[in-house]
Structures are given as structure tokens and as C-alpha cells.
């Protein structure tokens, strides 16, 4: 085995450090801003560390009852969207990956076409449909909308994971007398675990961070999601509470980080289990 030159390794680590800095700098700046005073933030001083540490920003953010209520609403909506999307996507992705002929091509075209148009183009018809079925200004209506928007991409993700599972494993189980449901539960599902975890992470984060659809479809303040509730810190010019806003944004990222940390371990474990079973 040829030893890699030292400068090649140094360049690789430098590129990796630069990439991590590029990804992490916005979060570091937001964290720094959450501890700065309003006067320092309004002065637009380019200092990563606060001149005066203001811990009261977090107190102000947590004292907003609307923020806590909105966090609960976001959690309900995000978890519900994640569970429904994963449960519906799994059998549909399996069918798309294993089907042959025109039906599979039509399903693939539908998935790709649905991703072409931005949500702003159909927001008015969507609002009218929800109002007709009396689900406008409800968390259930918002969950159904999120499931509709996340489903095509999750189907596309899971379809690739299913296609990577060798058909020979299913054929061997079928020769042993296993039915289709048994094959799905005992052969396909364990190997599909990494894809399901990746889908769950994507769906949860997408629903947790979504702003535009919730802004249009939810009017009652008690039903606001967290991104909408953070608007309460945005006042008129010169009255925007930048410090509490940054603190609220930091608090809003914590659930996503927790979910990602938990599911990341399961994602790694699922990949290793799939490699052993494959």
C-alpha cells in the first residue's frame, strides 16, 4: 500500500476544516449574537465574541408564552408529519422500486414533476381546498399539507434504498415459503432501516423549519408554529429585538439537533446491520 504524501493529507484536512467552518459559521455567529446587547447588535460591529455578555436574551425569549406554545405546536406537527410520511412512503417506495413497465415510469415522472413547481404557485388553491374541507387554520390541515410536500422527495430517497437491496434475498425467502408481508417485515425492513432513518430526519427538520406554508395557512396565534412565533421579535425599524430573536432561534435549533443526534446513531447502526445481513 502506497503511503500518501504528507502535503496531500494536509490539504485534505485543510479543505475539510474550511468546509466545516463554512457550514458552522452561521450557527456560531447566531450563538454569539444571542449573548450580545441590543446596542452592540445594532452597531453592526463585526465581533465574534460579545463585548458584554447578555444572558437576559434567553430569559426574555423563554418568558414569551407564545414561544413555548409554538414550540409544542411545532413538535406535534413535525413528529406527526415524520411518522405519517415514513409509514406511507415505505410500501410505496417498495412498489415503485420493484414494479416494471409503464406504471413505474408514471410514478417516477409524477415524483419528479411534483418537485419542479414551487409551493407559492399552489398556495391559493391549497388554501381554498383546506377551507372547503374545514381544515384551514388547524394543525391537522398543516400536517396533511406537509406530508403532501415531503412525500415525493422521501419516496425518491427510499426508492433508491430499496433498489439497492438484492432481489436474490427476497427470492431466497420466497423459496423458503415466506409470504410477501413476511419478506417485507423480516428481509426488506431491516435492510431499509438506514433509508427510513434518513427519511425521518429529513421530514422532521423540513416540517420543523417550514415558515411560508404555516404563515399562510395558520391564522390563530395559539396555533402558530415556532418559525411564525419568532416573528414576534421583529418590530418596527429600530425596535427589532435582535438579541432575544437570536436566543429564540438558538433554542429553536435544539430539538432538531437532539433528533439528529438520536437518529444518527440509529442510522449508523442500521447501516452496519444491513451490511452484515446483506
* Per-residue CA distances from 112 to 102, 106, 154, 210 (Å): 15, 10, 12, 21
How many Cα atoms occupy the beta-carbon half-sphere of 91 within 13 Å? 6
Instruction: Please tell us whether the domain made up of 65-277 is placed in CATH 2.70.150.10.
Output: no
Average pLDDT, the chain: 82
Q: What is the Cα–Cα distance from 126 to 206, expressed in whole angstroms? A: 19
30-51 burial, b at 16+ Cβ within 10 Å, e below that, comes to ebebbbbbeebbeeeeeeeebe
* Per-residue CA distances from 259 to 263, 264, 265, 267 (Å): 6, 8, 10, 12
The pLDDT of residue 177 is above 70? yes
SS3 state of residue 178: coil
> Whole-prediction pTM value?
0.80
Can you give the pLDDT at residue 7? 72
Mean pLDDT, to the nearest integer, of 53-78?
A: 86
Mean pLDDT, to the nearest integer, of 15-41?
A: 85
pLDDT tens-digit series, residues 84-113: 999 998 888 888 887 776 777 777 777 777
Can you give the pLDDT at residue 266? 62
The pLDDT of residue 273 is above 60? no
Amino acid at each position: 500500500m502506497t503511503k500518501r504524501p504528507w502535503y496531500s493529507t494536509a490539504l485534505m484536512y485543510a479543505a475539510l476544516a474550511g468546509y466545516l467552518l463554512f457550514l458552522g459559521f452561521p450557527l456560531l455567529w447566531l450563538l454569539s449574537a444571542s449573548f450580545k446587547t441590543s446596542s452592540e447588535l445594532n452597531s453592526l460591529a463585526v465581533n465574534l465574541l460579545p463585548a458584554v455578555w447578555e444572558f437576559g436574551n434567553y430569559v426574555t425569549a423563554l418568558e414569551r408564552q407564545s414561544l413555548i406554545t409554538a414550540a409544542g405546536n411545532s413538535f406535534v406537527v413535525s413528529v406527526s408529519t415524520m411518522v405519517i410520511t415514513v409509514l406511507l412512503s415505505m410500501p410505496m417506495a417498495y412498489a415503485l422500486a420493484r414494479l416494471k413497465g409503464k406504471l413505474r415510469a408514471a410514478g417516477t415522472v409524477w415524483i419528479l414533476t411534483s418537485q419542479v413547481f414551487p409551493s407559492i404557485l399552489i398556495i391559493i388553491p391549497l388554501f381554498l381546498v383546506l377551507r372547503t374541507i374545514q381544515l384551514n387554520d388547524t394543525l391537522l390541515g398543516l400536517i396533511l399539507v406537509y406530508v403532501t410536500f415531503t412525500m415525493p422527495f422521501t419516496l425518491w430517497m427510499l426508492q433508491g434504498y430499496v433498489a439497492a437491496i438484492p432481489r436474490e434475498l427476497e427470492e431466497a425467502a420466497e423459496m423458503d415459503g415466506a409470504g410477501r408481508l413476511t419478506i417485507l417485515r423480516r428481509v426488506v425492513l431491516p435492510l431499509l432501516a438506514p433509508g427510513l432513518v434518513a427519511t425521518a430526519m429529513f421530514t422532521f427538520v423540513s416540517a420543523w423549519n417550514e415558515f411560508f406554508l404555516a404563515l399562510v395557512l395558520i391564522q390563530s396565534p395559539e396555533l402558530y408554529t415556532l418559525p411564525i412565533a419568532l416573528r414576534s421579535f421583529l418590530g418596527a425599524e429600530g425596535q427589532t429585538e435582535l438579541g432575544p430573536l437570536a436566543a429564540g432561534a438558538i433554542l429553536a435549533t435544539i430539538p432538531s439537533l437532539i433528533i439528529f443526534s438520536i437518529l444518527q446513531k440509529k442510522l449508523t447502526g442500521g447501516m452496519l446491520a444491513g451490511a452484515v445481513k446483506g
